[in-house]
Amino acid sequence: MKKIRKFSLLVTILGLLTIAMGCSKKSPINTGGGTKVTPPDTVVTPVKSDVAMWLTTADGLTLLSKQNVALKFQDASNSNTTINVDSTVAYQSIDGFGFCLSGGSASLINGLDETRKASLLKELFDTGDGSIGISYIRITIGASDMSSGTFSYDDVAGDTNLDNFSLAKEETDLIPILKKIIAINPNIKILACPWSAPAWMKTNNSFTQGSLKPENFGPYANYFVKYIQGMKAEGITIDAITPQNEPLNAYNTPAMLMVSADENKFIKENLGPAFKAAGITTKIIVYDHNADHPEYATEILADPVTNPYVDGSAFHLYGGSINALGPVHTAYPDKNIYFTEQATFQGDNYGAAMTWHVSNLLVGATRNWSRNVLEWVLATDPNNGPHTNGGCATCLGAVTIGSAVTRNVAYYIIAHASKFVRPGAVRIASDQQNTLLNVAFKNTDGSKVLIVLNTATGDQTFNIKFKGEIVKTTLPAGAVATYTW
């Protein structure tokens, strides 16, 4: 699909996840997993605690399990490493955490019987017990590489007036699933982006490679207008768009090259004015590609005519460093930063994947001013499909939908934030430690959230300090925990 970060193979992981998820009768996410599950005839009395702790271990045997431990703030001191959380120092607001709902994902979810479909969507998008509260999704305008085939919403060659524009191809799966999601969470934010313009608008008349013909800049801007208006007519509000997914990668299926000068010209002369003329307030976010070329975004933001049309810039991390996002914010502090895609892959080592994604995305992206974090594809089948011929054949969904629904590593990566850090929260100050990577947030209700990853080779006991008092806690090697109070 792109530059793939390789991890070693852990053959048994899907089986372990299935076993772990099946152990809890009350909630698919409130499980100790494996041998740590409490027998069903044993009653556990919850201990009194000031701080709740939700744990996932590197071996995948404990999965977002609420720990029955007494974590109480006290006026004491010790020699442990301390993470000081300061809610008086606030940074960016948070829009949400979630996944990319590809057309293939929508078809798999929609193919479930009504009872299982309703249960899965509630688990993913509701905020109650047994749910993970996804609050932000990314969808595709036309086909992505995780669709069963290539298509756009107007495949009639030469139709520059877009008389044949239609969302009919989304009426079977994507639109019905979006409506069900919105019924669960009416405030969910939706970002949409194309993998390619209609083939006939491009220099090579193909869904892969090629670029947008200059004479079709205007028609393509109207294509976006029709899309946003059409989705609105279906009751679906598109919060933001990016003009092109991975504009420097022309070799996916579909794909389209759009260099920064062309994206700048398209926004400045066509898309921005078209949105303004149509009264569309959908945000325009630039770039939507790897952190190894942040200058793509800053070159566009530097144009004084384009700049007012642009809300911010979006990044992936198949190349570059997550720390490249921070300087973009520093250069243009009035423009927002978004993190819009990162895949997990079949064969990833569970613990290594958890460590890399939590450290770089949940911690790294948000500490570099991102308002959201999105993992790649929400659902795949047991063969890592559907995908196009030439699309990603190893991308692993957050859930695998087959005869059963299996929850994979991306599910838990995002759940450690989405369940607890709600839209409107702000990132607050917390001491970064070398082997206790962390980030903190304050929700609109005043509750605090601290996500901590232990990257050391052994267990670590440390303090969480807030308003002069400390809580002592222990985190196993390679584990991630979300603490709330």
Model confidence at 21: pLDDT above 90: no
What per-residue confidence (pLDDT) applies to 6? Answer: 36
Q: If you classify domain 95-423 with CATH, what class do you get?
A: alpha beta
* Token pair for 151: 């298509």
Q: How many Å apart are CA 3 and CA 281, to the nearest integer?
A: 34
pLDDT above 90 coverage of the chain, percent: 91
> Cβ of 458: how many Cβ atoms within 10 Å?
9
What per-residue confidence (pLDDT) applies to 393? Answer: 97
Q: How many Å apart are CA 439 and CA 433, to the nearest integer?
A: 10
Model confidence at 130: pLDDT above 90: yes
Model confidence at 18: pLDDT above 50: no
* Token pair for 18: 């299935």
Model confidence at 364: pLDDT above 80: yes
On whether the CB atoms of residues 97 and 134 are closer than 8 A, the answer is yes
Model confidence at 226: pLDDT above 90: yes
Pick the more confident residue, 44 or 183.
183
Mean pLDDT across the stretch 362-369? 98
Pick the more confident residue, 19 or 439.
439
**Phi-psi bin for 369: left (phi > 0), alpha (psi -120 to 50), beta?**
left
What per-residue confidence (pLDDT) applies to 100? Answer: 98
Mean pLDDT across the stretch 126-145? 98
What per-residue confidence (pLDDT) applies to 13? Answer: 36
What per-residue confidence (pLDDT) applies to 206? Answer: 98
What per-residue confidence (pLDDT) applies to 23? Answer: 33
Mean pLDDT across the stretch 431-456? 98
Model confidence at 26: pLDDT above 90: no
Mean pLDDT across the stretch 117-126? 98
Amino acid making up residue 343: A
Model confidence at 289: pLDDT above 80: yes
Domain 46-91+428-484 sits in CATH at 2.60.40.1180
Mean pLDDT across the stretch 161-165? 98
Task: Work out the mean pLDDT of the chain and round it to a whole number.
Answer: 93
Mean pLDDT across the stretch 271-297? 98
pLDDT in tens, 298-321: 999 999 999 999 999 999 999 999
As a whole number of angstroms, the longest Cα–Cα distance in the chain is 74
What is the 3-class SS of the chain, one letter each residue? Answer: CCCCCCCCCCCCHHHHHHHHHCCCCCCCCCECCHHHCCCCCCCCCCCCCCCEEEEECCCCCCECEECCCCCCCECCCCCCEEEEEEEEEEEEECCEEEEECCHHHHHHHHCCCHHHHHHHHHHHHCCCCCCCCCCEEEEEECCCCCCCCCCCCCCCCCCCCCCCCCCHHHCCCHHHHHHHHHHHCCCCEEEEEECCCCHHHECCCCCCCCEECHHHHHHHHHHHHHHHHHHHHCCCCCCEECCCCCCCCCCCCCCCECCHHHHHHHHHHHHHHHHHHHCCCCEEEEEEEECCCCHHHHHHHCCCCCHHHCCEEEEECCCCCHHHHHHHHHHCCCCEEEEEECCEECCCCHHHHHHHHHHHHHHHHHHCCEEEEEEEECEECCCCCCCCCCCCCCEECCEEECCCEEECHHHHHHHHHHCCCCCCCEEEEECCCCCEEEEEEECCCCCEEEEEEECCCCCEEEEEEECCEEEEEEECCCCEEEEEC
Phi first, then psi: what are they for 377, rounded to 5°?
Answer: -90, 135
Model confidence at 33: pLDDT above 50: no
Kindly list the domain boundaries of the chain, sorted by start residue. 46-91+428-484, 95-423
* Token pair for 435: 């082997």
Confidence tier at 400 by pLDDT (50, 70, 90): very high
Q: How many Å apart are CA 69 and CA 53, to the nearest integer?
A: 8
Model confidence at 406: pLDDT above 50: yes
Q: How many Å apart are CA 400 and CA 403, to the nearest integer?
A: 9
What per-residue confidence (pLDDT) applies to 329? Answer: 98
Pick the more confident residue, 77 or 153.
153
What per-residue confidence (pLDDT) applies to 460? Answer: 98
Mean pLDDT across the stretch 170-178? 98
| Total count of residues recorded for the chain | 485
What per-residue confidence (pLDDT) applies to 41? Answer: 55
Q: How many Å apart are CA 340 and CA 100, to the nearest integer?
A: 8
Peptide bond between residue 294 and the one before it cis (omega within 30 degrees of 0)? no
What per-residue confidence (pLDDT) applies to 44? Answer: 80
Q: How many Å apart are CA 113 and CA 117, to the nearest integer?
A: 6
Confidence tier at 28 by pLDDT (50, 70, 90): very low
Confidence tier at 42 by pLDDT (50, 70, 90): low
pLDDT in tens, 385-395: 999 999 999 99
What per-residue confidence (pLDDT) applies to 43? Answer: 72
Q: Which residue has the tokens 């993970």?
A: 132
